Structure 1
């Protein structure tokens, strides 16, 4: 039994069905509502800055939470280089409480972006001699401490009648167990386990050992689970992988994606001059063929949650039909449910 969620990149463009930022925000909420009605387990959204995509996630997550009752609501992922960790802790707790404690927050050091050092424009500049990755790690540690209830500020007895240190408010007591780290390597997966976070592994890994993508990702998951068990956290961790899954059921499916069904395969490339990247294949084709391929995907089998990327610019109706086809035709045949 696997949880199935959708992952929206949240693009908008005047020549699509998401013409404006308003369109993509409202349609994101509507798709989450439709997905819940279909029995989908999670609604997840990418976060990017300085681009025609979804950015600050918490207003959207709150809106989804207020329109739904069951579905998990998450991010994949929040770039911690940009964040004020204490303010993020407050807004995350507020959104989580309003949704009935359904947030599943994916965070990370960040992904390739369309601007140079955009986090510096947000006022986040790494101290001399440190890197942006180290700054993201510090922000993450501060965020985790805050949602755990760390006493961070000195109370003013003259105003409160209380001495001692106090934590941020509001707080969600269960949120700490629902934080995920977006990991691109085996080493970062182990560190994720050591920090007691869930693992979010995507279709891009920033290392290459020469084995097929799904085997490398499955090895990452195995190493993560072993490290998590060794950490003595007292609970079972969650692990997600994301996949592009497009069953060709309707004539519209074939018109949009049929030409790609024989072209998609794993790729090795570079996201910058120094960083190698492994990209997983897209699963496009007849439902039974996709189901067979997914059943043999070692990383998919090792994960408890599969996030299906959706072409959000095709509109709510098309994406709801896509998710319905996955639930009806692919998931049962693949042995997911």
Structure 2
């Protein structure tokens, strides 16, 4: 079954035409958009997480608020930068949010992308151990977090604590099933293979930090194939989820043409450039006539290989515009990739 969700970068600021002038605007509108998306039959509401930026930096209050206003839609992140996280406190927040949502949390985590701060994780109080890189530290934090949400004991009890025979205290609350709903944001084929070995679902975005000269969708489809092959070798006890992200903007009226008409020709092709010191391939945007987009997405090898498609939304254009965009995608484009609206 193919699923689609929206992915919001959560930007706010007083730029020209912005409907999210403040952080409060962005947060309240994110909740309203999730409610509207659920009514359209969209399957997921996902949010980027960035620090020291005018974006969403603390996703759990937002996701808990969405959980309280909705009943079906999946709620998640894409992705939490684990360099910045206290893994045990995060485990408590994640479990509590998952319980509020009745098991709808889908958490994307990763080493993270470049942030505005030169060494933001250190400013948060986190430093690599001897011989570690910051990427190693992120993976260590992730392992501790996953261990905690799986119910393992993590803390020595005080002498007065009643343990009932257990040696170590576990974090509370616990939310059964959450451990199988953790996704690793993989930026390369090798990190996708690593994620499969660890037993995490795969979240792949609109760029890969490598380039072999083939179109982006083919490179990403290869990444997915390698992930699934490694998962089968590892013999994990559940079937993994795989998501890819795409920028999909149907241009159907004058408002769409005003915002995106001139951009569609320039951005409807792959780009190759440097990010974080690595030669990277960026996937093209899909903008223009809905029928053309439907055909192009149906031919996108990675979209076809994944079970979940995340659609980036221009959140600063406001809830009404983003809802209209999602509705047009749901009506005219998503059926071409095998999607049908979810029901309560």
Partner of 2:130: 128
Q: Is the 8 A contact 1:156 1:162 kept in 2?
A: no
Offset, 1:271: 1.3
Q: Secondary structure at the match of 1:160?
A: coil
Does residue 194 of the first structure (1) align with residue 197 of the second (2)?
yes
Instruction: Work out which of the residue numbers 308, 326, 330 in structure 2 matches 1:327.
Output: 330
Instruction: Work out which of the residue numbers 217, 226, 229 in structure 1 matches 2:232.
Output: 229
Q: Is the 8 A contact 2:247 2:311 kept in 1?
A: yes
Instruction: Work out which of the residue numbers 223, 240, 245 in structure 1 matches 2:243.
Output: 240
Does residue 279 of the first structure (1) align with residue 282 of the second (2)?
yes
Partner of 1:270: 274
Q: How does 1:286-325 map to 2 (within 5 A)?
A: 286-325=289-328
Q: Secondary structure at the match of 2:66?
A: helix
Partner of 1:47: 49
Which stretch of the first structure deviates more once superposed, 165-174 or 39-48? 165-174
Q: Is the 8 A contact 2:2 2:337 kept in 1?
A: no
Partner Cα distance (2:180, 2:186) in 1:
17
Q: How does 1:85-100 map to 2 (within 5 A)?
A: 85-100=87-102
Does residue 170 of the first structure (1) align with residue 173 of the second (2)?
yes
Q: Secondary structure at the match of 2:115?
A: coil
Change (3 A) 1:334 1:152: closer
Cα deviation 1:65-86 (Å, max 9, x = unaligned):
0000000000000000000001
Partner Cα distance (1:152, 1:246) in 2:
46
Partner of 1:4: 4
Q: Is the 8 A contact 1:288 1:333 kept in 2?
A: no
Structure 1: state its 5+ residue gaps: none
Partner Cα distance (2:258, 2:92) in 1:
45
Offset, 1:161: 6.3
Partner Cα distance (1:176, 1:250) in 2:
44
Partner Cα distance (2:121, 2:158) in 1:
33
Q: Is the 8 A contact 1:106 1:180 kept in 2?
A: yes
Q: How many residues align?
A: 336
Q: Is the 8 A contact 2:67 2:100 kept in 1?
A: yes
Cα deviation 1:202-240 (Å, max 9, x = unaligned):
001001111111000000000000111111112211000
Partner Cα distance (1:334, 1:146) in 2:
37
Structure 2: state its 5+ residue gaps: none
Cα deviation 1:119-162 (Å, max 9, x = unaligned):
11000011233210000010011011001111112223424264
Partner of 1:203: 206
Instruction: Work out which of the residue numbers 15, 29, 32 in structure 2 matches 1:30.
Output: 32
Q: Secondary structure at the match of 2:210?
A: coil
Cα deviation 1:304-330 (Å, max 9, x = unaligned):
000000000000000000000000011
Q: Secondary structure at the match of 1:5?
A: strand
Q: Secondary structure at the match of 2:160?
A: helix
Taking structure 1 as the reference length, the TM-score comes to 0.98
Offset, 1:278: 1.0
